[in-house]
Structures are given as structure tokens and as C-alpha cells.
Amino acid sequence: MMNILVTGSKGQLGSEIQELASEYAYNFFFTDRNNLDITDVNAIKTFAEKNAINAIVNCGAYTAVDKAETDEVNANAVNHLAVSNLAQIAKEKNIILIHVSTDYVFDGKNFKPYTEDDTTNPNGVYGKTKLDGENALKEINPPNAVIIRTSWVYSSYGANFVKTMLRLGKEKESLGVIYDQVGTPTYARDLAKAILDILPNIKNEKVEIYNYSNEGVLSWYDFAKEIMRMAKLNCHINPIETKEYPTPAQRPHYSLLNKSKIKKEFSLNIPYWKDSLDECLIKLGERR
């Protein structure tokens, strides 16, 4: 039985992996920053040796996109240096490594879905530190290591756009939501299942990158409209431009990810975004 270390296990993705764990014949070790400091390479090495770790799923990340603009040291420590640490130990101990990255490594100026080989050009600190983490992993190049880029993650766990819209939809008669940022949501449970399904089939000599999100194309405005419709909330959603809602960090205007590679190589069937949203709202008790 494989011994799998899951870092960042209290986040959205880590929590979904925990919930799915009983469906898989793996022995899981769920950690967070309180019981494993991934910015400490010796701590990772000790943990891996003590528990005979065969695979690592790195869900640990600094995801406060706006805060990162003024907190680059901490964002870099988690999104870049910690990934380098994990890669070093993975290479030294011949451990499978799945690292989760983001669409923010791109500048959002594309006109067709991003492939894994498209040129990266992050707009802000968060995207830059995530890209630095990717590059560190590629430079160390442990065998059987993959990077999965994803976008617009939500879950029944943690804070996210879906839960924010549900809360505001009950409090307000109307909301302005951005319509000129286009992408696809990712239900963390779908991504968690994909990771656990592909894990035993990872066999590569150099680091491979894969894109993963749910299927479909929409704006944040469309997403909010569908949340209100499914939850039967009488909150009117008004389309607004990005410039009407300024934030410290610049968001990519276009985040569509081409998922052909991961679907082909691992025979994955990826759910449509509305179906996954429906499933999440049912789980939250909000589907009416």
C-alpha cells in the first residue's frame, strides 16, 4: 500500500482529498503548517523517512492573491521555496510528487485556451511565486513529478466565490460581478478525484505539466448568475467591468485552460462546470 503525504490538507483541495480518502487503497498522512513545515527541508526529509512516504500531493500554497502584493517574502516561502524543498526530497527518496499550480502563471492575454507549453508571464506576486515554484521543480527534475495547473477553485470547504455569492445573495438585493474575466471554475472535489486517480499511473522521467479545470467557458458574472438561479436566491446580478472593481493584484482576463493532455494521457472524463456546481450546492444544502 502506498504511503501518501498530503500537504495543505486543511485547504479546499486537501479537505476534499481527505473526504475521498476512504475510497482509495492508499495510506494517507494529512498535514498542514502546524504539524509539517514544508519551508524546512529537513522537516520534510525526517517526515518522509519516518513514514516511508511513496508519494506527495502538495496542496500547500499561499493563495491570498491581493495580500501577496505586500507580503512577497511569505508568498515566496510557500509557493516557491517549499516546492523546491519537496522536489529535493522527492528526488533524493524517489517519491512521486504532484504539485498544484495556477492559471495565474499566465498574463490572461490569450485568445484561445492555454496549453501547457504556452509562454508564462504572471501579472503579480502570487503568479510569480507560483511560477518560481514550478521552475524550481523543473530544475531539480525528480522523476515521476507532475505539475497540475488549475483555475477558479471552489469547494464546500473553506472560503471561495461560491460561498461568498451564497452569503451575499441572501443579504443583498443586487450585486455587481465582473463580466470581462473569462475562464472555468474548478470544483476541488473533481480535481481531488483526478489527482488520486492518476497518481498510480504517473511514470515520467522529466517533470510534466497538465491543465485541469471543469469543462465549459464563462465569466464570473455568468458564474454568479447560475449560483443565484440554482439556489433560488432573489439577488439581481449586474455585470461590471474589472476597472469598476479595482484590486491590489491584477487578475488575468482570460484563464481558459486546454485540458486535452491530461484527458488523453490518463483517460480522464472531466465534469461540466454546471453539473459540478449543482453537486456542490446540494452538498452545502443550498440547492432548491
> Which positions are catalytic?
126
DSSP 3-state of 146: strand
DSSP 3-state of 39: coil
Owner of C-alpha cell 471552489: 154
d(CA 145, CA 273): 27
DSSP 3-state of 178: strand
Owner of C-alpha cell 524550481: 136
- Nine cell digits for residue 42: 529537513
Owner of C-alpha cell 452538498: 283
